[in-house]
Amino acid sequence: MFGLAERFVNAKTLGISRDHWLGDQMKVESLIRFCDEEIKHQEIFWQIERMMGVQMASGYQFFADPNDVAREVLGKCTWSV
């Protein structure tokens, strides 16, 4: 579930970074580094999901599409995200 909820974080962060592309390069670097760490977190969460899936009852499936959730979240204003 955490991997699902975090799918939108990098897209939003990279969008916010646009405000600094031609300005404060330290802010751009910080946002890029944040995204790099976030990708690692997402991969850990997906690994946990796969490991847990093996232990779940027969027929267990995770149906939510992370991209669909991300599209819905990203459609909201920055403050609500």
**Between these two residues, 5 and 48, which has the higher pLDDT value?**
48
Nearest to 60 by CA among 49, 68, 69, 47: 49
The answer as to whether 80 is a domain residue is no
Residue 58 lies in a domain: yes
Predicted TM-score (pTM) of the model is 0.75
The answer to whether position 81 is within a domain reads no
Residue 38 counted as domain residue = yes
* Domain contains 57: yes
Q: Is residue 56 part of a domain?
A: yes
Domain tally for the chain?
Answer: 1
Q: Which domain holds residue 23?
A: 2-74
Each residue of 53-68: pLDDT tens digit? 888 888 887 788 888 9
Cα(40)–Cα(43) distance, integer angstroms: 5
Domain presence at residue 43: yes
Would 55 be classed as within a structural domain? yes
Helix, coil or strand: residue 37? helix
